[in-house]
């Protein structure tokens, strides 16, 4: 028997994305964003509140990076979602984390997070109901330590965080339970 839950954003899991961008003086800022998703194979959309420091920085620099937060860096990932660069001038510096400039786009790469997408701003998407930031993925960088023998990113090594909106939890990923485009193949044969 299902119970009615009312209006709940019941998509699980949500990603834990670390969105980093420079201000006009190339000062680094990073925010935690769960409302974001790949759209098309080379594009990403982020739903970032207008006026947040990251939103302002992307408007200024026209570029950003999106890293996947992993289990080893949960505390800082969460801090990036609590603190705002609009209010805390040393938001990034107080974490002790390290940033280098991307060689592909005008945005910082946070060294501690193992996988990062380097993105150029395509557009601010404004409709009556949706306000999104669309970026083109120019390149992805990944630490060798999270690659599998076939040279691709291995989720079991990455241990990326997932976020749930029901209980406000962070969860780690890792166990593969099945292969996509394959687990349902027997039903195709019926």
Ligand X SMILES: Cc1cc2nc3c(=O)[nH]c(=O)nc-3n(C[C@H](O)[C@H](O)[C@H](O)COP(=O)(O)O)c2cc1C
User: What residues line the site for ligand X (CB under 6 A)?
Assistant: 29, 31-36, 47-49, 52-54, 78, 81, 83-86, 91, 163
Nearest distance, CB of residue 132 and ligand X, angstroms: 10
- Can you tell me the distance from the alpha carbon of 89 to that of 83, in angstroms, rounded to the nearest whole number? 10
Nearest distance, CB of residue 83 and ligand X, angstroms: 6
48 or 160: CB nearest ligand X: 48
Closest CA to 119 of 105, 103, 131, 133: 105
Q: Which SS3 state, helix, strand or coil, does residue 51 take? A: coil
Nearest distance, CB of residue 51 and ligand X, angstroms: 8
54 or 102: CB nearest ligand X: 54
**Residue 190, burial from CB neighbour count under 10 angstroms (0-12, 13-18, 19+):** exposed
74 or 106: CB nearest ligand X: 74
- What is the helix (H) or strand (E) element at residue 158, kind and residue range? helix 155-158
CB 53 within 8 A of CB 115: no
Radius of gyration over every alpha carbon of the chain, rounded to an integer in angstroms = 18
Closest CA to 12 of 44, 39, 34: 34
125 or 183: CB nearest ligand X: 125
β-pairing, 161-164 vs 169-172, is: antiparallel
Nearest distance, CB of residue 141 and ligand X, angstroms: 22
75 or 186: CB nearest ligand X: 75
Nearest distance, CB of residue 71 and ligand X, angstroms: 14
For residue 137, how many other CB atoms are within 10 A of its CB?
A: 18
Residue sitting closest to ligand X (CB): 81
13 or 81: CB nearest ligand X: 81
Nearest distance, CB of residue 138 and ligand X, angstroms: 22
């Amino acid at each position: 028997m299902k119970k009615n839950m009312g209006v709940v954003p019941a998509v699980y899991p949500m990603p834990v994305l670390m969105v980093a961008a420079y201000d006009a003086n190339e000062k680094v800022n990073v925010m935690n964003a769960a409302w974001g998703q790949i759209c098309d194979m080379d594009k990403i959309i982020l739903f970032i509140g207008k006026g947040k420091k990251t939103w302002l920085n992307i408007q200024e620099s026209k570029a950003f990076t999106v890293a996947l937060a992993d289990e080893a860096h949960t505390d800082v990932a969460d801090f990036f979602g609590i603190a705002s660069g609009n209010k805390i001038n040393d938001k990034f510096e107080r974490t002790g984390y390290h940033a280098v400039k991307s060689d592909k786009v005008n945005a910082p790469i946070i060294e501690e997070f193992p996988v990062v997408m380097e993105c150029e701003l395509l557009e601010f998407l404004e409709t009556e109901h949706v306000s999104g930031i669309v970026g083109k993925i120019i390149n992805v960088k990944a630490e060798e330590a999270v690659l599998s023998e076939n040279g691709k990113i291995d989720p079991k090594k990455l241990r990326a965080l997932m976020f749930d909106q029901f209980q406000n939890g962070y969860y780690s990923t890792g166990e593969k339970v099945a292969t996509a485009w394959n687990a349902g193949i027997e039903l195709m044969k019926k």
